[in-house]
Amino acid sequence: MLRVNKLTDYAVVVLCDLLRGQALRSAADLSASSGVPLPTVSKILKQLTKAEILQSVRGANGGYGFARRPEVISMTEVIESLEGPIAVTGCVEDSGECCALTDQCPMSGHWNAVNTAIRQSLNDVRLIDMLPESRFMEPTDLVGSIVARHTLALQAQEGEPNR
Amino acid sequence: MLRVNKLTDYAVVVLCDLLRGQALRSAADLSASSGVPLPTVSKILKQLTKAEILQSVRGANGGYGFARRPEVISMTEVIESLEGPIAVTGCVEDSGECCALTDQCPMSGHWNAVNTAIRQSLNDVRLIDMLPESRFMEPTDLVGSIVARHTLALQAQEGEPNR
DNA sequence: CAGATACTGTACTGTTTTGGTCCTGTATAT
DNA sequence: ATATACAGGACCAAAACAGTACAGTATCTG
Ligand code: FES
Ligand code: FES
C-alpha cells in the first residue's frame, strides 16, 4: 500500500521526541521516553547518524543530537535515510535495475514522473511538521523556540545550513 | 524504498499496451504482447476490473477494455486498485490500526500530512502520462487521438466522465 | 444444444523483505 | 581502570509478495 517502513515510522517518533528535550540524549533514554525498544531505537539512530541527520557523541554522557537545525530537515531525507533512495520501481533511473521486460517495455523510465511527483511533495513536508503543535506554544513561536533551544544546545561545532 | 508492488508495475505496462490496440483484448493476447506471464496478467486484469478501471466481457471473443476514457484515469486509482488505499503508515486515518505506541505517540495522525502530500501529487499523474509519446504522433495530438480511438472503440455503453 | 473461449474467485506455495535482536569492537569521561 | 555509549555487522523469525493453479461461470459460434 505504498507503505513506509515501520522503522521509518519509529524514526519519526524518536526524532520528534528528540526535538523536545536535551540536545544530547542517549539511545537508552530515547527508548524509554518513546516506548520503542532499545535495540530498535539504536538501529534507527545509527542510520540517521550515517545520513547526517543526527550526530553522535561516544563515551560516557554521550548520545545523539541533531546534526543541523531541525527545521531544515525534510521528510524526504528522513525516509531516504531509512530506506534508501525513493524509487517506486526498479525502472527509475539511478536505481540500477530495470524490470524483467526491459526490451519490450513500452515506457522506459516513465515511472520517473510518478517518482519525482512523490519526491517533490515529500520535500515540502518538514520533520517539524510532524510535531503536534499543541505540546508547544503558539505555532508562530514554534520554530523559533525549537531552533533556539537546539542550536544553543548543539554546542556550536558547525553550521552548514545546507539546503 | 517506498516501492510500489511489482504487480502495479506490470499493471501499468499492460494498461499502456491496452491503450494502443483494439478496445477489447483477451488476457492471453495482452500477455503475449506485453511479455508478462498469463496467470499474472490475468490476476492484474481481474483486480483492475474490480476497481472499475477496466471492464470485462466474458465468453468467446471476450476480453478487457477500459471502463472509461483513459485520460481521466489517475495513477492514484491504478495504484490503489492494486495495493489498497494509499497509507504510508498504519497511523493514517481510515486505515484502521495505529502503531504499537498509540498512547504515548507524540504525533497522532501527523503522518496524514505526508500521506495527503503523496496522494495529491499522484493525482496529477494520469495513466496516459506513462505512455512514451515517441510511439505516437506529436504530443499535442496525443491525447486527442487516443481518446478518439478508444471512445469510438468503446462501443458507447456509457459516459460517466467522473472526476 | 454442444463445444470452445475467456473471465471469476479463491486457495496455495516458495521466495523475498522486513522487523527485531544480539554480539563484538571502539571511543570517551571520570 | 572502569563504566558508559555508540558502531558495525550478523542473524533469525515473521510477514508480505509474486506467481501459479484450478474449479466455476458466462458467452459466443455453429
Ligand atoms: S523496463 Fe523500465 S519501465 Fe519497464
Ligand atoms: S500511534 Fe498513530 S502516529 Fe503513532
Distance A140 CA to C14 C1' (A): 55
Residue with the larger pLDDT of the pair B67 and A140: B67
Which three three-digit cell numbers place residue B160?
Answer: 460517466
Grid cell 498512547 in the structure block, residue: B103
Could you give the dihedral angle defined by the CA atoms of residues A137, A140, A144 and A149, in that order, rounded to the nearest 10 degrees?
10
- What gap in Å lies between CA B86 and CA A20, rounded to an integer? 30
Distance A106 CA to ligand 1 centre (A): 7
pTM of the model: 0.77
Is residue B126 predicted with pLDDT exceeding 60?
Answer: yes
Report the distance from CA of residue B66 to the C1' of nucleotide D27 in Å, as an integer: 19
Evaluate: CB of B100 within 6 angstroms of ligand 2.
no
| Rounded alpha-carbon distances, angstroms, from residue A22 to A51, A71, A79, B114, B127 | 21, 17, 24, 27, 48
What pLDDT shows up at residue B40? 93
Residues of A in contact with B125 (CB under 8 A): 113-114, 117
User: Given the CA of residue B107, which atom of ligand 2 is nearest to it?
Assistant: 3
Q: How far apart are the first and last CA of chain B?
A: 30
User: Alpha-carbon distance A9 to B114, whole Å?
Assistant: 12
Q: Which residues contact B131 (CB under 8 A, 6 or more apart)?
A: A106, A107, A110, B16, B19, B20, B142, B146
* Residue A105 CA, closest ligand 1 atom number: 4
Shortest Cα distance from A13 to chain B (angstroms)?
7
**Quick one: pLDDT band at residue B124, thresholds 50, 70, 90?**
confident
Q: What is the pLDDT of residue B130?
A: 82
B20 to chain A, minimum CA–CA distance in Å?
11
pLDDT for B84: 85
Q: Which of residues 22-81 of B touch strand D (CB under 7 A)?
A: 37, 39-40, 42-43, 57-62
**Minimum mean pLDDT range among A82-91, B83-92, B120-129:** B83-92
Coil, helix or strand for B23? coil
What is the predicted pLDDT for the residue at B109? 59
Domains, in order of start, for chain A? 1-73+138-163 (1.10.10.10), 74-125 (no CATH)
Summarised one tens digit per residue, pLDDT across range A72-127 is 999 999 999 998 888 777 665 444 445 444 445 555 567 778 888 888 888 888 88
Question: From CA B74, how far away is CA B3, in angstroms rounded?
Answer: 18
Grid coordinates standing for A115? 517518482
Average pLDDT for B33-60: 93
What percent of chain B stands above pLDDT 90? Answer: 32
Cβ within 8 Å, pair B106-A3 = no
